[in-house]
Chains A and B, each alone.
Chain A
């Protein structure tokens, strides 16, 4: 099977959707001539022209706002915000306008925009270029929040996101862009559907984005010790695939949640509540969360890895679960 990088998968999705639908346009900082700082929009400008691949000034509020206006008027904009940290500047448009228009205008308007961004630590980018803010978006009714962990998921879910009539926050990860994975050539993948990345029977690990790979490594180590770990990647945080997660935990009776974002009010708190509210009497142990430490991401290579869950952390949690 053909292997592609995550960045190539994102680019393929953009190309396939832009070929398919002339209303799809891409805008953002350095997306055109430069081709995107993580190469995801490379050569799109040559392919589709400056009408559809728009290099913008450093204006995150207006990039998001222009995307809202375009989406209200029949285009399907894919706006890129280079770092998730910068989405803080776009929030008015996403939270007050994009998320609410369909509801507050009683369905008279829909806002089919995709906001692509990338999150997370791992590159010494420090506190203002490394955050994981997915729970901010997941907290807002009206937004869809997607966090793919593999090239194939990135491609299939980005295609679905572009075709979807609702605003989608599509969160890539800076440490995944140059990881490789099989390209199944699949068409759209369903939004709101979790993926069981590894089947197991003793304990369920629910992990997101970069942490999915670490969870799979930990599961492999645990397997050698006779512990069978099921690894679930929700892929979409809102809407959340409650069914798949509950089915797994009903089977394993144990759940560990792993994410890079800080613990307090992280998405793990919500997932833990979903499991506990539904399966309280069936659990063999309290739901456990492994999360980023409650600190800004530090710069030094001696510090940065220390504040994010490691393979060892996950391995310990699944092999000595109580």
Chain B
């Protein structure tokens, strides 16, 4: 790989990694926004705000179910899914040393979509398929599909050493699996609507079980990622420099790609393909504070979580009681933000 861009906005290895005051302020702000969004999510839904507040103050049986079994797990789950995507985005951009890298770079989205298509087809065509589908569900099928795609990508690139090969293999796998998905969809157009929902993301059915699973995976992913943050700092200076600092690049890449895969596959399995969160969250952090990778790997998940929470809120508010696909909302917001960045860059130049 070529040398990294001159301005990565990252601290060099050896730079004091203690959290700076602006970063602390930033983290506090992000947490405050998350708390606000969580509160708002309890009163935004298909009922009027007055009714929701009434449920909060004096809940009846139905109000309790809607507040604590539907709205709260939905927003908590959305936060964790966004956090996983933010983390995966930061890891991907660090490992590939490319600011345009996103969590779906290794073919996860296409693999998940294929997994879902196969499961929907199976459920629609045979009793055995229906039973199989009942056991693993759409979320399981998406997760298996995403993992299989990553395995295929790594196999095609013959390991994780060459990032250029990995990127190419990821693109090939994504195209290949998308083509298979399209062919399968042609045979059974009835499942297209369900697929569309998956492809545009949905937080509608996040339960406490889903939120717990997302939370556990987030904890499992954030620890090794944070521990290897200094490795990413070193890698940002170039592979040769990183190796001269005594880093084992294969081990670093393998572990971080494991984190990336697990985080993305779990998030995609639970909320479908939500675009732009993984790409935009690290950018948002870098644009507001100067960070090294350890801080970025903490900031990007917080930012991603708040982003998806906000998108979820918007998706269920605008055309209530119907709702927009959450991925369409994130794409609009994320796209607008990237256009803003481009505009600002051209203005500065």
B partners with A: no
